Amino acid sequence: MNTESHFTALESEAHPRWDTDVLIIGSGAAGLRAALAASENADVTLITKTTLKESNTLYAQGGIAVAMNIDDTVELHVQDTCSAGCGLCDIDAVETMVAEGIPRVTELLDWGANFDWEGTLPRFTQEAAHSRRRIVHKGDATGRETTDVLIQRVLNTERIRTISNAFAIDMLTDSTAQSGNNSITCYGITAIVENQLVNIYAKATILATGGLGRLYPCTSNPEVATGDGFAAAWRAGCEMIDMEFVQFHPTTLYLDGAPSFLISEAVRGEGGRLINIRGERFMEKYHEKEELAPRDIVSRAIQNEMLLTDFPCVYLDITHKSAEFIQERFPTISNTTTHYGLDISIDLIPVRPGAHFMMGGVRTNTATETNLNGLFACGEVACTGVHGANRLASNSLLECLVFGVRAGENAAMYATSQESTLPPKIQIPRCDYIHLNDVNSEIFKDTVLAAKDVIRDTLWENVGIERDEEGLEFALTDLAEIATEMGLNPSTSMPTTSMNGQSTDIHLNETVNMLNVAWMITRASLIRTESRGGHYRADFPDQDDVSWNRRVIMKIGNEPEFVGLT
């Protein structure tokens, strides 16, 4: 499509200016599906941090949970989702996701998704905490298949323009946002494109930036998942909700020289067993469902066994299955482990837990609206409440498809009701600026890279699978010290610090984002003095339904506030 018809550069502004009807930030399943939906009624620009393919979706192995099997119902899927969510799911959002998931998956199949079949039905597999076999999949590469199908359609859609290597820094909001008025409007974003700052103005903006697993040293997430969307939304004045609920997947590969890589829960679904370094099976000590217990329980059990045996991992044993079965069912895992010298049809797989999924995020309703006019959010960065305190396996791609469509349709409708993208007086989010004299020096760049590791280590130690008050307070102090070392403002303003306009260095912007998001997760974890789902407080080990059947909402400029569940 012709660039000129889509964008206008205004030389009078500090940065080049581009315009579009609907701007989508992120190219995972949610962003791609939103783009397709929005393009039915509007011109769409989709920007993505690196390549169009790279996102958490690409690495999703398990599949898509959908109530399409002959013995399954929407009610059962809703029930399983809510029971995994430990009392904090928003029932309307869950019902929407499960019911609309059926047409969304059917449509994906119609578009050519080559999922595994058995006779006239998709081959449904089992995963933990599902009462039925309801996971449609393509071997262990469901995310890749889904991505390929959606990208193909996006590239064939004339009204969608895609821009790779575009790093979204901050939302463009109007001036009323800065003067304490509650009504904030989003007019797009400032981004780094080809090493230059660009203002991309949009009548409607959809945030679909994915997750934040890379805030932790062990994770199933790719390098791009540094939580940038959460940070930008927070700085722009979005309400953030459930930020204490990070899901740790029990089994990521732990092998010298190999990247931290997901070993799908489907391996346990197919009978894989966990054993410790002493060769003992241990899950029966922790839960009646053993290896198929909820993820938080399996993760804590593994962590405990690692502690008891003073060994940095446990093992997953799938050797009872034939080499042919493994190659057909788990080609991605099998090819990756073979690459590192491990034949999983005869060798045990060394595994340990890693950060996997963020249940919390930008608060949205089922129409994907945020508290900012013109800003919609979908996928992992958003929180409609579908996951509550813990996500059920394979509900994430389902969420992306369902709420991606809703975001695209609603954003396009909003955009067509707006006359222009020109705001009254644009402002970037409030920034507590800093003395950044040497941002381009080698020493400063080294400091920034080191800071990322320190953030990861402090979160893993203190805001990980188990937390307590002492560790959480320690983490807050640590984060403030990291900020000071980087020349950022001292502790009180650290959570709101933004780099907007000061540097086009991606690492620096990522590090600031990581600091913002790490602060939110830590602060929310400190507030919730109970254990529930993905949030386990060793000093408050029980679920407290009397005081805590409610959710933590945080917004910039306020002390974190609470609301009850409706």
Site for ligand SIN in 367-426 (CB under 6 A): 393-394, 396
**Shortest distance in whole angstroms from residue 300 CB to ligand SIN:** 17
2-61 binders of ligand SIN (CB under 6 A): 61
H-helix or E-strand spanning residue 161:
strand 160-163
User: CA-to-CA distance for 516 and 201, rounded, in angstroms?
Assistant: 24
DSSP of 289-306, one letter per residue? TGGGS-HHHHHHHHHHHH
CB of 400 or CB of 552, closer to ligand SIN: 400
Which C-beta is closer to ligand SIN: that of 62 or that of 229?
A: 62
Residue type, 258: A
Provide the sign of the torsion angle of the four alpha carbons 438, 441, 442, 445, taken in this order. Answer: positive
Which residues in 55-94 contact ligand SIN (CB under 6 A)? 61-62
Looking at 417-468, list the stretches that DSSP marks H as alpha helix, in order from N- to C-terminal side: 442-462
How many Å apart are CA 218 and CA 253, to the nearest integer?
Answer: 9
What residues contact 381, with CB distance under 8 A and at least 6 apart? 26, 207, 208, 209, 210, 211, 229, 230, 233, 358, 361, 362
Cα angle, residue 29 at apex, residues 26 and 31 outer, rounded to 5°: 35
Q: What's the closest the beta carbon of residue 392 comes to ligand SIN, in angstroms?
A: 8
Whole-number minimum distance, CB 148 to ligand SIN, in Å? 18
The H or E element that residue 528 is part of is: none
Strand partners, 377: 207
Rank residues 263 and 372 by Cβ distance to ligand SIN and give the closer one: 263
> Least Å distance between CB 68 and ligand SIN?
17
Smallest separation, CB 61 to ligand SIN (Å): 4
Instruction: Determine how β-strand 64-65 pairs with β-strand 273-275.
Output: unpaired
* Interacting residue with ligand SIN among 27, 190, 209, 264 (CB under 6 A): 264
Please answer whether residues 67 and 364 qualify as being in contact, where contact means their C-beta atoms are separated by less than 8 angstroms.
no
Q: For residue 90, what are its two tokens?
A: 């928003």
Distances in whole angstroms, Cα of residue 9 to Cα of each of 12, 23, 345 = 9, 16, 58
Residues 180-209 that bind ligand SIN (CB under 6 A): none
Rounded least distance, CB 102 to ligand SIN, Å: 18
- Cβ contacts of 161 within 8 Å, gap of 6 or more: 1, 3, 6, 20, 43, 44, 45, 46
Return the residue of 236, 266, 382, 552 that touches ligand SIN, per CB under 6 A.
Answer: 266
> What is the number of the residue whose Cβ is closest to ligand SIN?
62
Is 159:39 a contact under the CB 8 Å cutoff?
Answer: yes
Q: Candidates 164-172, 264-272, 278-286, 485-493 — which segment interacts with ligand SIN by CB under 6 A?
A: 264-272
The pair of three-digit structure tokens given for residue 195, joined into one six-digit string: 């090493």
Q: How far is the CB of 494 from ligand SIN (least distance, A)?
A: 31
Q: From the candidates 161, 295, 300, 532, give the one annotated as an active-site residue.
A: 295
The residue range among 93-101, 225-233, 258-266, 285-293 that interacts with ligand SIN, by the rule CB under 6 A, is 258-266
Residues near 260 by beta carbon (within 8 Å), at least 6 away in sequence: 217, 218, 219, 220, 252, 253, 254, 354
CA distance 311 to 291: 20
Q: Which is nearer to ligand SIN, 211 or 464 (CB)?
A: 211
265, 296, 478, 510: residue in contact with ligand SIN (rule CB under 6 A): 265
Q: How far is the CB of 119 from ligand SIN (least distance, A)?
A: 24
Nearer to ligand SIN, 202 or 266 (CB): 266
Length of the chain: 566
Clarify whether 391 is annotated catalytic: no
CB 57, min distance to ligand SIN, A:
11
Size of the site for ligand SIN (CB under 6 A): 8
Distance CA 40, CA 159 (A): 8
Catalytic residue IDs? 295
Residues that bind ligand SIN (CB under 6 A): 61-62, 264-266, 393-394, 396
